[in-house]
Chain A
């Protein structure tokens, strides 16, 4: 029997950058198949080509052994392929029902939509994904996890037999992710084949049957997840040995929060935060955990002076640097160069009479770029061409040049590859060694447990717990993060 989907000789280049180079990929009926690789390896590009949202330079695709032409999303829909994008492709101002029927070949109601018919069409699919919201709710008002379910229901209502998911858990916390995994198992037993693009090894080993590894746009190999382990997968991804489980906290305990207090926050209240108090010492890495919407990023905004403070006080000794959550929207100037982005916040340092002294500017970045293991063709390359991990390093370089006393890192490893994550852990370590106070926000609890001295947990804008990293566990943190948001909650 031919495989459900077979793609061979898939190539795609963007300008001079080769995203895919004769990659190949085979999906069997009824399996959950992981597509993994470092950032820039080409996994998202491959998924987008199969979904028709990116046009390949070359690709031969066969479905059930028959050649298929997929040049646009409608072709993909006809072939039974649906995709759940990382940044969900929903219309936030339309209702759940309207989102399901728009562009849907299986909803043949002409140009005038009757709400009753839309509701009748949508109901079975919403039930299937376990979505409790109303058909007439605006999608933009739903939590991100439910929006994702809408996207899945939409793909199912388009009669998708193949579901492509690009980093579906990247913005979900563990409970929403668990619900998603349950749904994936159900769909799998109902005969839907799934391609699961992700960085997260534990998820892949838990829910996927097979995994295909891409590196530098080429297919390295496909393995049965039951017959492999994290270390082997990472070896295939990066082409060298690398311990994900390496614990940096060992060195940490020797330091033991010795430094003076660099940041003291007392009863901080903003539009989102409610009476948050904590202290940060030199040489300390303070983790911030919490569900999406718990106020983690808002804490950074308040510290950085971007949000209005309604009550409470912030006592900072020295400057505060903020590495924002969304490096694309809040961080980088994408068409400007690596060098220009790095020195952005310290430009006056290199000026004489307003003119930039180019050699000094270049010289300031060089040691830092080496230290960060920043990879680029030249420092004149636009940052838009770099992989996510290298973009994040450029942004880090901007703040390291600024040399603040307190650095607020908002989810710095989000969506970046394993090797770059290790680089960033190393830098966080070095910053603490150098006597900085570091605040590290993360959605990945193992990351917090690995990097931090203490972990502060937010829930609904309140501080619900502070743990010493030595006594903290994922279970304790989760419990504090889901503490009901009542005034009695302990602070």
Chain B
């Protein structure tokens, strides 16, 4: 009897999302295994894929998309979408580079760097807030609002920079100092890890996180329950802008430039990571752990294909298949 009850409980938990999580984890494990098996070996016979340097490279490569996918998970959980994240990233790279190279000198390098980064991230968050306010106030579809933002913000970044890359040198000035610090693997990966931890805890443990899922599951019911729908939506899009801005700052450091043409189609990569992780595109179901698994899946897959010298066009086709497969497997039945 107790066994039957335990089984029933396990089943209901599995249905509650554990099963989908197990499936996406299994998919990731499969790809890792494949990467180990078919990957090339180094001169000493060890697997290149398994070298610490390669593994941390993977983490570093997925960190930017990974950071954006964290907030994208919240957005999608509320039943929304944010197409503007790639453009916001470009705006942020441009602003931080302009702040570092064109603004007058302040007392110390550290202050100058902090201010430039803060300005870029704050402006990005503000774009997100604007998205959220328009979506919450007008009830227009998030797809349309953020599509407009995607176009407009890209324009803004290009206009501000005259459509020129702003190079961050390798010398000893403040910009070079910034790049030297924020392109380190440990910083980039650390930023992603910290962001993931915070977003996971907030979603799982806070009132705000509960509201995010409730609104996406059934907005009408959320209205009847008196939940702060508008405020929650504004926050969710603000967070999306903020993390895109953070990703933009890291992008500028890594690439030694502010680039108004950066981040094209990043929104699609971020959405793909969320969806592969099992979050339902219509909202209400899913979470951060799934998104992390989804992000890692894309990262490992890309790495495996590149180690095997697969043509980058073929790589896109394989990714497409993986996205469809991942979602097909996790569908509610």
Interface residues of A (CB under 8 A from B): 15-17, 304, 306, 322, 324, 329-337, 340, 344-345, 347-348, 351, 354-356, 377-378, 380-382, 385, 398
Contacts and interface: CB of A to CB of B under 8 A. Distances in A.
Given A332-B218, A351-B207, A398 B16 contact: no
B208 A381 contact: no
Nearest to B15: A15
B11 A15 contact: yes
21 contacts: A329-B218, A330-B220, A330-B221, A331-B221, A333-B213, A333-B222, A334-B218, A335-B280, A340-B210, A344-B227, A345-B227, A347-B207, A354-B207, A355-B205, A355-B207, A356-B207, A377-B8, A378-B9, A378-B12, A380-B13, A382-B12
8 nearest CB pairs, A to B: A16-B11, A333-B217, A381-B12, A345-B225, A354-B206, A335-B285, A344-B225, A15-B15
Interface in B214-235: 214, 217-218, 220-227
Contacts of A331: 218, 221, 224
B15 A385 contact: yes
Contacts of A345: 225-227
B284 interface: yes
A100 B223 CA distance: 38
Contacts of A306: 223-224
A154 B5 CA distance: 45
Nearest to B12: A381
A330 B221 CA distance: 4
A78 B142 CA distance: 45
Given A334-B217, A377-B5, 11 more contacts: A322-B224, A331-B224, A333-B217, A333-B218, A335-B16, A335-B284, A336-B284, A340-B213, A344-B227, A377-B8, A380-B9
Interface of B: 5, 7-9, 11-17, 205-208, 210-211, 213-214, 217-218, 220-227, 280, 284-285, 333
A348 B221 CA distance: 18
Contacts of A330: 220-221, 224
A381 B10 CA distance: 10
Contact of B221 (A332, A347, A378, A382): A332
Contacts of B223: 306
Contacts of B226: 345
Contacts of B285: 335
A2 to B, nearest CB: 36
Residue in B7, B225, B280, B285 with the greatest tally of chain A CB atoms within 10 Å: B225
A335 B217 contact: yes
Nearest to B204: A356
A344 B223 CA distance: 11
A382 B208 CA distance: 20
A382 B15 contact: yes
Contacts of A347: 207, 210-211
Contacts of B217: 333-336
B210 A382 contact: no
A16 B8 contact: yes
A340 B218 CA distance: 13
Contacts of B211: 347
A17 B333 CA distance: 13
Given A356-B207, A377-B5, A337 B16 contact: yes
B78 to A, nearest CB: 12
A34 to B, nearest CB: 30
B210 to A, nearest CB: 6
B220 A356 contact: no
Contact of A333 (B15, B206, B214): B214
Nearest to A381: B12
A345 B210 CA distance: 11
B15 A16 contact: yes
Given A335-B284, A381-B16, A356 B221 contact: no
Contacts of A304: 224
A336 B213 contact: yes
Given A340-B214, A345-B225, A385-B12, A329 B206 contact: no
Contacts of A16: 7-8, 11-12, 14-15
Nearest to A395: B221
A115 B223 CA distance: 44
A378 B11 CA distance: 11
A374 B9 CA distance: 16
Contacts of A329: 218, 220-221
A356 B210 contact: yes
Contacts of B12: 16, 377-378, 380-382, 385
Contacts of A348: 207
B278 to A, nearest CB: 12
Contacts of A381: 9, 12, 16
A345 to B, nearest CB: 5
A397 to B, nearest CB: 12
Contacts of B218: 329, 331-334
B9 A377 contact: yes
B203 to A, nearest CB: 11
A336 B214 contact: yes
Contacts of B13: 380
Of the candidates B8, B13, B223, B224, the one having the most CB atoms from chain A within 10 angstroms of its own CB is: B224
B50 to A, nearest CB: 38
